[in-house]
Amino acid sequence: MATASHHHSATTPPPPPPPPNFLNSIKLKYIKQGYHYLMAHLPTLFLFPLISVTAVHLSQLNTNDVKNLYLHLQHNLLTVITLSVTILTGSTAYLLTRPRTVYLLDYSCYRPPDNLVVKFDVFMERSRLHGGFNEPALDFQRKILERSGLGEETYLPAALHNIPPAPSMATARQEAEDVMFGALENLFGSTKVDPKDVGILVVNCSLFNPTPSLCSVIVNRYKLRGDVKTFNLGGMGCSAGVIAVDLAKDLLMFERIWRVMLHRKAYAIVVSMENITQNWYFGNKKSMLIPNCLFRVGGAAVLLSNNPADKRRAKYKLLHTVRTHCGSNDTAFNCVYQEQDETGKTGVSLSKDLMAIAGGALKSNITTLGPLVLPISEQLLFFATLVARKITESKTKPYIPDFKLAFDHFCIHAGGRAVIDELEKNLQLSEEHVEASRMTLHRFGNTSSSSIWYELAYTEAKGRMKKGNRVWQIAFGSGFKCNSAVWEAVRAVKPSESSNPWVDCIHKFPVEIRV
């Protein structure tokens, strides 16, 4: 056996040399790594000589120089007092008004009961039994479902499980209350926060805005205090979750001054959701049937604070929010549009231009976000290629910055398979970078503005969130808008047993998505 093995190894031809392109890519990789390292440490290289010279000069000061400075200050006592008071006043004003870090203490994603699960065959059967859809419409919905990236465990509201469906104001209210209270009960339970300490409440729901408002429903249920500041955001689409966080961040700055004056605790809660019950489309226009196949029940509640004392129990701190609005462009404005079809049935129409509009909105958003998050090395490369293209009038594609150098995790709004594919391609992301988005779409469907929280929960449940990791939440919405939020983990984040919707099923994921 040994002889045979030796003979075999002796006659085995050597492995072929790697192709030239492979060698070139390896060299380019290490050249780029060296460039990024040099640019990252460039300030240190420049500052070191300056610090050295300053230290030498200070070491040469003698006792007489110090005494002369002290006597000079004694003779100008009024000047010193005035300067000290000015500095003290300015420092106090700055400390009271400067933006404080906003911390995310915890969040909760609503998981509907199992009796609301809708499998593909059940979806199609209920659509047939309704009787309002013609054969081309039924066939179109079946094809969309098969290509959507959704799985067999998504949820529809109870009213749409009825035969025939029973959408009404009462059933729509019931869906909203189930989602909001389900998420909030888990949030209050996991954080031990008293609802009386909530000073700011922001609720976003695009298509369902009853009177009293959804904010008032929550105030009534949890008996929030009389001076709570409430805001109800409607008609702002799937990107409204980031808008709500941005609004809460701004409000917390003013609430902090009020809290200091009254010696009160104050937290901000953001509730992001959509309501499906009264917004199901029962007509046959194909562009308005797509939301039926994608949107599912879901919602999230987020607890925020800018009290420095809350840092030790927080999960994340908010670094940036960037909002981009393209509504001045008529095509962008009309690409997601609620309207009535020719038979008078109401629904949301999705334009064929949607992906092109989303791509343009993304470029505008990252133009603002890039300088805030990208290392200087990437910014210089982007600027240099931009200048080169202008000078040479080249029609080559512009350099796409490597956002993987700025972020460890990506939460791309699970609006549909095409949205995730487009961002994966444009931002040159790997399968792992978009895994949370694909699995959220597969498991929960498009839950509108709350999908970015289900994706963050997925990352936590997988045990991937380490201290210092940066997360990019990016969402698109009607109008047309592209909004970003950047978070940094203040510790290694473990999933909350009571408020993470993935804890009992994360071992099943990722799953293969059928084409």
Percent of the chain with pLDDT strictly greater than 70? 80
Domain contains 406: yes
Mean pLDDT for 486-513 is: 93
pLDDT at 41 over 70: no
Q: What is the mean pLDDT of the chain?
A: 86
Percent of the chain with pLDDT strictly greater than 90? 66
Q: Can you list the alpha helix ranges (DSSP code H) found in 269-402?
A: 286-294, 330-334, 354-373, 376-392
Among candidate residues 325, 329, 426, 469, the one labeled active-site is 325
User: How many CB atoms sit inside 10 A of residue 278's CB?
Assistant: 18
Active site residue 325: yes
pLDDT at 261 over 70: no
Per-residue model confidence (pLDDT) at position 23: 43
Per-residue model confidence (pLDDT) at position 97: 55
Domain contains 64: no
Per-residue model confidence (pLDDT) at position 455: 98
Residue 484 bridge partners (DSSP): 322, 474
Among candidate residues 205, 238, 326, 335, the one labeled active-site is 238
pLDDT band for position 6 (50/70/90)? very low
Active site residue 446: yes
pLDDT at 3 over 60: no
Domain contains 132: yes
Nearest Cα to Cα of residue 316 among 245, 230, 243: 245
CA distances for 328 relative to 126, 241, 325, angstroms: 40, 22, 8
Per-residue model confidence (pLDDT) at position 332: 96
Max mean pLDDT among 26-40, 77-91, 282-296 falls in 282-296
Q: What is the DSSP letter of 513?
A: P
pLDDT band for position 472 (50/70/90)? very high
In sequence order, the 6+-apart residues with CB closer than 8 A to the CB of 327 are: 333, 479, 480, 481
pLDDT at 412 over 60: yes
Nearest Cα to Cα of residue 233 among 449, 454, 436: 449
pLDDT at 16 over 70: no
Active site residue 263: no
Tokens at residue 464, please?
């991937």
Domain contains 251: yes
Mean pLDDT for 182-210 is: 96
Contact criterion met (CB below 8 Å) for 282 and 341: no
Nearest Cα to Cα of residue 243 among 270, 282, 275, 276: 270
Read off φ and ψ for residue 431, nearest 5 degrees: -60, -35
* CATH number of the CATH domain containing 469: 3.40.47.10
pLDDT band for position 325 (50/70/90)? very high
Domain contains 96: no
Domain contains 80: no
Contact criterion met (CB below 8 Å) for 170 and 237: no
413-433 tens-digit pLDDT: 999 999 999 999 999 999 999
Among candidate residues 365, 446, 483, 500, the one labeled active-site is 446
166-180 tens-digit pLDDT: 899 999 999 999 999
**Distance, first Cα to last Cα, the chain:** 48
Per-residue model confidence (pLDDT) at position 73: 60
Our measurement of the distance from residue 166's CA atom to the centroid of its chain's CA atoms, rounded to an integer in Å, reads: 34
Among candidate residues 409, 411, 433, 482, the one labeled active-site is 409
Tokens at residue 444, please?
């929960």
Per-residue model confidence (pLDDT) at position 263: 45
Report, in angstroms and rounded to the nearest whole number, the Rg of the chain calculated over CA atoms.
28
User: How many CB atoms sit inside 10 A of residue 38's CB?
Assistant: 11
Domain contains 78: no
391-408 tens-digit pLDDT: 777 666 667 789 999 999
pLDDT at 244 over 60: yes
Which residue is associated with the tokens 């038979």? 343
Domain contains 68: no
85-143 tens-digit pLDDT: 888 877 766 555 556 799 999 999 999 999 999 999 999 998 998 878 999 999 999 99
pLDDT band for position 360 (50/70/90)? very high
Mean pLDDT for 202-230 is: 96
Per-residue model confidence (pLDDT) at position 471: 98
Sort 264 into a burial class: Cβ within 10 Å, 0-12 / 13-18 / 19+: middle
Among candidate residues 413, 482, 483, 500, the one labeled active-site is 413
pLDDT at 38 over 70: no
Which residue is associated with the tokens 């990789």? 29
Q: Which domain holds residue 259?
A: 102-508
Per-residue model confidence (pLDDT) at position 303: 98
Neighbour-count burial for 160-187, b at 16+ CB within 10 Å, e otherwise: bbeeebebeeebbbebbebbbbbbbbbb
Among candidate residues 215, 292, 293, 442, the one labeled active-site is 442
Per-residue model confidence (pLDDT) at position 377: 83
Question: 3-state SS string over 63-109?
Answer: HHHHHHHHHHHHHCHHHHHHHHHHHHHHHHHHHHHCCCCEEEEEEEE
Q: How many domains does the chain divide into?
A: 1
Per-residue model confidence (pLDDT) at position 384: 80
